[in-house]
Amino acid sequence: MSTTSLWDRIEPLLAGVEQPSRYINHEYNARHSADCAYRVALLYPDTYEVGQPNQAIAILYQLINDLEGCCAERVFLPWVDMIAALRQQGLPLFTLEGCRPVGDCDLLGITLPHELAASNISEALDLAGIPLLAAQRGAGDPLVIGGGPCAYNPEPFSVFFDAFAIGEGEELISEIIAVHRGWLSEGQPREELLLRLAAIPGVYVPALYSPDSNGALCPIRADLPAQISKRVLADFADFPSIAAPIVPFAEATHDRLNIEILRGCSRGCRFCQAGMTYRPVRERSADSIVAAAVQGLRCSGYDEVALTSLSSTDHSQIEQILRRLNAQLHGQAVSVSMPSQRLDAFGVAMAQLVAGEKKAGLTFAPEAGSQRLRDIINKNVTEDDLLQAVAQAFTAGWRRCKLYFMIGLPGERDEDVEAIVDLANKAFAAAHQAVPEAQRGQVRMSVSVAVFIPKAQTPFQWAGQLPLSEIERRVGLLRAAVLPRGINLNWHDPAASLIEAVLSRGGRELGPLIIEAWRNGARFDAWSEQFSLEPWLAAARQCGIDLDACAQREYPLDAVLPWSHISCGVDAGYLQAEYLQARSQQTTADCSFGSCTGCGVCNNLAARIELAGGQRG
Amino acid sequence: MAESLFRLRVCYRRGDRARWLSHLETSRANERMVRRAALPFAITQGFSAHMRLAFGPALAVGTAGEQERFDVLLREYVDVDSALAALKANAPSGFEPYHCEYVDLHVKGLQATHIHEQYLIELQPAAEGSGGVASAADAGGVEAAAGSGPHAACESASGEAPGNQRQASIQAALEQLLQVGTLTVQRKGRQKVYDLKQAVQWAEALDDDTIMLVLVSGEQGSIRPELLLREALADRLEVAVRKVTRIRLSDQPWEPQ
CB A422 within 8 A of CB A370: no
Query: Using the 8-state DSSP alphabet, how is residue A232 labeled?
Result: -
Residue B179 phi, psi (nearest 5):
-65, -30
Please indicate, yes or no, whether the overall pTM of this predicted structure exceeds 0.90.
yes
Tens digits of residue pLDDT in B219-238: 777 888 988 888 888 767 77
CATH 3.40.50.720 fits B6-103, yes or no: no
Tens digits of residue pLDDT in B162-194: 567 889 989 998 998 888 888 888 877 788 888
pLDDT for position B143: 46
Nearest chain B alpha carbon to A398: B47
Residue A73 phi, psi (nearest 5):
-125, 140
Query: Min CA distance, A529 vs chain B (Å)?
Result: 19
The whole-chain average pLDDT of chain B stands at: 83
- Identify the structural domains of chain A with CATH numbers, from first to last: 7-229 (no CATH), 362-571 (3.30.750.200)
CB B55 within 8 A of CB B23: yes
| B140 confidence band (pLDDT: 50, 70, 90) | very low
- Spatial CB neighbours of B180, under 8 Å, sequence gap ≥ 6: B144, B145, B147, B148, B149, B150, B196
Nearest by CB to A13, from B31, B61, B130: name it: B130
Closest CA to A468 of A550, A387, A348: A550
* B51: three-class secondary structure by DSSP: strand
Residue of A357, A399, A435 to mutate, testing the B interface (most B Cβ within 10 Å of its Cβ) = A357
Nearest chain A alpha carbon to B29: A249
Whether the predicted pLDDT of A462 surpasses 70: yes
Nearest chain B alpha carbon to A361: B48
pLDDT for position A359: 63
Contact A249 B38 (CB under 8 A): no
Round to the nearest angstrom and report the end-to-end CA distance of chain A.
Answer: 54
* A414: three-class secondary structure by DSSP: helix
Nearest chain A alpha carbon to B135: A16
Tens digits of residue pLDDT in A325-380: 999 999 899 988 888 777 777 776 777 787 655 566 688 999 999 999 999 999 99
Alpha carbon of residue A263 to chain centroid: 13
* A144: three-class secondary structure by DSSP: strand
Chain A residue numbers with beta carbons less than 8 Å from the beta carbon of B230 are none
Whether the predicted pLDDT of B195 surpasses 60: yes
Contact A20 B20 (CB under 8 A): yes
Which residues of A have a CB under 8 Å from any CB of B? 11-21, 23-28, 247, 249-251, 297-303, 331-333, 357-359, 397
Contact B36 A27 (CB under 8 A): no
Using alpha carbons, list the distances in angstroms from residue A45 to A29, A152, A249, B123. Answer: 22, 17, 20, 37
Percent of chain A whose pLDDT exceeds 70? 98
Angle, CA A280 vertex, CA A274 and CA A283 arms, to 5° = 100
Taking the C-alpha atoms of residue A158 and residue A182, their distance in angstroms, rounded to an integer, is 24
| Per-residue exposure over A169-184, b if at least 16 CB sit within 10 Å of its own CB, e if not | bbbbbebbbebbbebb
Mean pLDDT, rounded, for A486-494: 93
CB A198 within 8 A of CB A205: yes
Query: Min CA distance, A302 vs chain B (Å)?
Result: 6
Contact A301 B34 (CB under 8 A): yes
Whether the predicted pLDDT of B156 surpasses 80: no
Tens digits of residue pLDDT in A75-100: 999 999 999 999 999 999 999 999 99
pLDDT for position A3: 59
pLDDT for position B151: 34
Taking the C-alpha atoms of residue A605 and residue A229, their distance in angstroms, rounded to an integer, is 8
CB A203 within 8 A of CB A163: yes
Helix or strand (DSSP H, E) at B74 = strand B63-74
Nearest by CB to B131, from A16, A19, A24: name it: A16
Chain B residue numbers with beta carbons less than 8 Å from the beta carbon of A15 are 62, 130-131, 136-138
Mean pLDDT, rounded, for A250-267: 94
Nearest by CB to B135, from A11, A16, A18: name it: A16
Whether the predicted pLDDT of B113 surpasses 80: no
CB A379 within 8 A of CB A269: yes
| Per-residue exposure over B8-46, b if at least 16 CB sit within 10 Å of its own CB, e if not | bbbbbbbbebbbbbbeebbbbbbbbbbbbbebebbbeee
Mean pLDDT, rounded, for B101-113: 83
Closest CA to A274 of A455, A448, A500, A116: A455
Residue of B17, B72, B138 to mutate, testing the A interface (most A Cβ within 10 Å of its Cβ) = B17
CB A128 within 8 A of CB A104: no
pLDDT for position A202: 98
Range with the lowest mean pLDDT among A155-169, A176-190, A220-234, B115-129? B115-129
Whether the predicted pLDDT of A158 surpasses 90: yes
Taking the C-alpha atoms of residue B123 and residue A271, their distance in angstroms, rounded to an integer, is 60
Query: Min CA distance, A99 vs chain B (Å)?
Result: 13
Contact B131 A358 (CB under 8 A): no
pLDDT for position A378: 96
Nearest chain B alpha carbon to A8: B129
DSSP characters over A418-487:
HHHHHHHHHHHHHHHHHS-GGGGGG-EEEEEEEEP---TTSGGGGSPPPPHHHHHHHHHHHHT----TTE
Residue B131, number of CB atoms within 10 A of its CB: 21
Domain range annotation of chain B = 6-103, 116-250
Whether the predicted pLDDT of B1 surpasses 80: no
Taking the C-alpha atoms of residue A245 and residue A298, their distance in angstroms, rounded to an integer, is 11
Contact B22 A397 (CB under 8 A): no
Chain B residue numbers with beta carbons less than 8 Å from the beta carbon of A358 are 47-49
Whether the predicted pLDDT of A382 surpasses 60: yes
CA atoms within 13 A on the CB side of A36: 24
Radius of gyration in angstroms for the set of CA atoms belonging to chain A, rounded to a whole number: 24
Q: State how beta strands A363-367 and A400-407 pair.
A: parallel
Nearest by CB to B49, from A27, A247, A357: name it: A357
Nearest chain A alpha carbon to B48: A358
Angle, CA A41 vertex, CA A36 and CA A47 arms, to 5° = 140
Query: Min CA distance, B35 vs chain A (Å)?
Result: 5
Phi-psi region of B131 (alpha: psi -120 to 50; beta: other; left: phi over 0): left
Nearest chain B alpha carbon to A302: B32
Nearest by CB to B62, from A15, A250, A357: name it: A15
Task: Give me the count of residues in chain B.
Answer: 257
Mean pLDDT, rounded, for A526-538: 97
Nearest by CB to B36, from A12, A25, A301: name it: A301
Nearest by CB to A247, from B32, B62, B131: name it: B32
Mean pLDDT, rounded, for B148-155: 34
Q: Diameter of chain A by CA atoms?
A: 76
Taking the C-alpha atoms of residue A280 and residue A266, their distance in angstroms, rounded to an integer, is 7
Residue type present at position A471: I
Nearest by CB to B137, from A16, A250, A300: name it: A16
Chain B residue numbers with beta carbons less than 8 Å from the beta carbon of A49 are none
CA atoms within 13 A on the CB side of A383: 16
pLDDT for position B138: 41
Residue A258 phi, psi (nearest 5):
-110, 130
Nearest by CB to A27, from B20, B31, B92: name it: B92
CB A293 within 8 A of CB A259: yes
Taking the C-alpha atoms of residue B186 and residue B140, their distance in angstroms, rounded to an integer, is 6
Taking the C-alpha atoms of residue B254 and residue A373, their distance in angstroms, rounded to an integer, is 73
Whether the predicted pLDDT of B159 surpasses 80: no
CB A338 within 8 A of CB A359: no
Tens digits of residue pLDDT in B14-62: 999 999 999 999 999 999 999 999 999 999 987 678 999 999 889 999 9
Percent of chain B whose pLDDT exceeds 90? 48
Contact B44 A333 (CB under 8 A): yes
pLDDT for position B149: 34
pLDDT for position B127: 62
Contact B94 A26 (CB under 8 A): yes
Tens digits of residue pLDDT in A280-295: 999 999 999 999 999 9
CA atoms within 13 A on the CB side of A146: 29
pLDDT for position B34: 98
Taking the C-alpha atoms of residue A614 and residue A390, their distance in angstroms, rounded to an integer, is 29
Closest CA to B52 of B105, B131, B99: B105
